[in-house]
Amino acid sequence: MRVLRLVVVGWLFHIKSLTLSWFFLLTAVFTPLLVATIAYYMFRAGGKPGTLFYASLGAAVFGIWSSTLFGSGGAIQWQRWQGTLELLVAAPAPFFLVLLPLTLATSTIGIYSLTSTLLWGRLLFGIPFHVEHPLAFAAAIPATILGLGLLGLVLAATFVLYRHANALSNMLEQPVLLVTGMLVPLSLLPGWVHPIAWVLSPTWGARGLREAALGGSPWPEIGMTLGLGIAYVLIGAFCLRHFEVAARREATLSLT
Amino acid sequence: MTSARVFLIGGVMSFRALFNWLSPWIYVPTMLVSPVFQILLFAYIGRAARVQSDKFYVIGNALQYTAIPCVFAMSHTIAGERFQQTLGYILVTPARRIPLFVGRSLPVVVNGALTSAFALALGGAILGIHVPVSALAPLALTIVLCAASCTGLGLLSAAIGFLVRETATLNNIVFGVLLIFCGVNVSLDDLPGWMSTLAQGLPLTHGIEAARKLADGASLSYVAGLIGAEALVGLLYGLAGYALLRALELQSRVHATLERA
């Protein structure tokens, strides 16, 4: 019960805190709109207007990913800059449970990106918004947010040892957008990319949303998103414990 | 002589002092790897949409990426100094302003051009595009020109840094506007009329078009008009940026708002 309380209160706190940051909000909303706009024009120029809703959904998931990545990259770094990282690590609560609400909050902020991207497509490009399976679509959204937030936890954990996490997280934005098939069908990518896509939750989150919206069987994809999320929790907890001990031993925790 | 020292030595010193991205841990992912992934992303979206060749995206995105080092770096010459609380010291010096600010832009142009050239070479090699050897020197000139015109825009952004605190947000928006409007991934013919008209007044638009023609085998004289237009646009942004910098510097002294934003 105390664990649940810590996670929920931390999650709400970080959502409120991040919502007050214009920089974070603008980045979370603007970047996916940018990618979506270019994709709309490209697909339209290629005479494939039927794929616009497909692109719109992909860009919406990218919005969640962008927000998660930006937040995860900053999760450790912001605490370092504010001088609170040592306090959080030294607190009685496991650091894993302190970090988890932050990465979940960053992916939750992705709701703004998802909503704005779908609205942008509907209002400016006239992309019809018709969902075949509304219930599955409603389930796919929180599953995607959870799956991506937990992937963010793994990234944030590995960033404990890396002082320039923001640079690495910025770099990861477009490769993951590319290899997870959010905007480009996986069949167009080289075969060696596919296994990478399979272990990344955005692949399954985007597929789940598309299957629910365009018609298909979204539940296996939703299940895969959540299943990967569980795997990320285990990996994240292990990495965080290991890297935290290493950072304390080497006295590099607060080095910026 | 003093102005020459401020221009050359001052410019290099400020570049080294202000930019922590000179660390390889930041420089490699931000300046060398990210542009290549931007090229690959849009080239593959282009393949999915079946709209343009890989060469179109390699050249467009490699040149557009000069906006990251150039616009961000120039605006950081004001925002970074203010963050470190050294802006006031810089501005009370008797140094002439033209060598002071233009000197700061020189390393930025060089870095932007190198970033773009690296992205063009590596992105082109990965996607297997062919560029005639005779086009390499004119392409290098076009890249330098694009970096210079983006730096001009960056100077304008630096001036706005006197008024607003979130220059990083502003620069992200500028980067996005250039990515959409300048024909980087969508041909100007496929954009709405008002967007392609607006693009004529933005840095990169003419430079990218010239680079694409050069890569297709056109001679330097054939694209001289486009190169001249790119230079003119960059010069106008630079002049506007410098004029605004001086005006806002004066304003910030009169109203004691130098450190406020």
Identify the pLDDT of residue A76: 79
- Supply φ then ψ for residue A170, to 5 degrees: -60, -40
CB B256 within 8 A of CB B167: no
Mean pLDDT, to the nearest integer, of B38-67? 94
* Interface contact flag, A171 B30, Cβ < 8 Å: yes
Single-letter amino acid, residue A110: G
Decide if pLDDT at A187 tops 80.
yes
A255 band by pLDDT with thresholds 50, 70 and 90: low
Residues in B closer than 8 angstroms to A69, CB to CB, are: none
CB A256 within 8 A of CB A163: yes
Residues in B closer than 8 angstroms to A185, CB to CB, are: 48
pLDDT in tens, A29-45: 888 899 999 999 998 88
From the list A208, A158, A162, the residue with the least C-alpha distance to A181 is A208
Identify the pLDDT of residue B204: 95
Q: How far is CA A243 from CA A87, A160, A250, in A?
A: 16, 6, 10
A225 band by pLDDT with thresholds 50, 70 and 90: very high
Please tell me the distance in Å from B3's CA to the nearest CA on chain A.
36
CB B248 within 8 A of CB B162: yes
Identify the pLDDT of residue B45: 93
Residues in A closer than 8 angstroms to B46, CB to CB, are: 42
Out of A41, A46, A185, the one facing B191 most closely (by C-beta) is: A41
Identify the pLDDT of residue B50: 87
Q: Which residue has the higher pLDDT, B18 or A94?
A: A94
Identify the pLDDT of residue B260: 64
Identify the pLDDT of residue A49: 67
Q: Which of B51, B65, B179, B182 to mutate to test the interface with A (most CBs of A within 10 A)?
A: B51
Nearest CA in chain B to A183: B45
Mean pLDDT, to the nearest integer, of B189-211? 95
178-197 in A: which are within 8 Å (CB) of B?
Answer: 178, 183-185, 188-189
- Supply φ then ψ for residue A78, to 5 degrees: -60, -40
pLDDT in tens, A1-12: 788 899 999 999
Identify the pLDDT of residue A11: 92
First vs last C-alpha separation in chain B: 34
Asked if B38 reaches chain A (Cβ–Cβ under 8 Å), the answer is yes
pLDDT in tens, B15-51: 777 666 678 888 888 889 999 999 999 999 999 988 8
Decide if pLDDT at B261 tops 60.
no
Decide if pLDDT at A178 tops 90.
yes
ipTM given for this complex: 0.88
* Interface contact flag, B25 A163, Cβ < 8 Å: yes
pLDDT in tens, A96-106: 888 899 889 98
Residues in B closer than 8 angstroms to A167, CB to CB, are: 21, 25-26, 29-30
Mean pLDDT, to the nearest integer, of B167-192? 91
Decide if pLDDT at B184 tops 70.
yes
Q: Which residue has the higher pLDDT, B53 or A74?
A: B53
Mean pLDDT for chain A overall: 88
**CA dihedral of residues B88, A79, A102, A227 (deg, nearest 10):** 120
**C-alpha of A85 from chain center:** 23
Decide if pLDDT at A256 tops 60.
no
- Buried b or exposed e, range A5-16, using 16+ CB within 10 angstroms: ebeeebbeebbe
CA distance A164 to B15: 19
The structure tokens listed for A93 are 């609560």
Nearest CA in chain A to B52: A46
Mean pLDDT for chain B overall: 89
* Interface contact flag, B51 A185, Cβ < 8 Å: no
pLDDT in tens, B79-130: 788 777 888 888 888 878 788 878 888 888 999 999 999 999 999 999 999 9
CA distance A27 to A66: 8
CA distance A23 to A76: 18
Asked if B22 reaches chain A (Cβ–Cβ under 8 Å), the answer is no
Identify the pLDDT of residue B257: 76
CA distance A138 to B160: 43
CA distance B162 to A203: 43
Residues in B closer than 8 angstroms to A174, CB to CB, are: 34, 37-38, 40-41
Residues in B closer than 8 angstroms to A171, CB to CB, are: 29-30, 33-34, 37
First vs last C-alpha separation in chain A: 35
Kindly tell me the sign of the dihedral angle through the C-alpha atoms of A154, A160, A166, A171: negative
Asked if B186 reaches chain A (Cβ–Cβ under 8 Å), the answer is yes
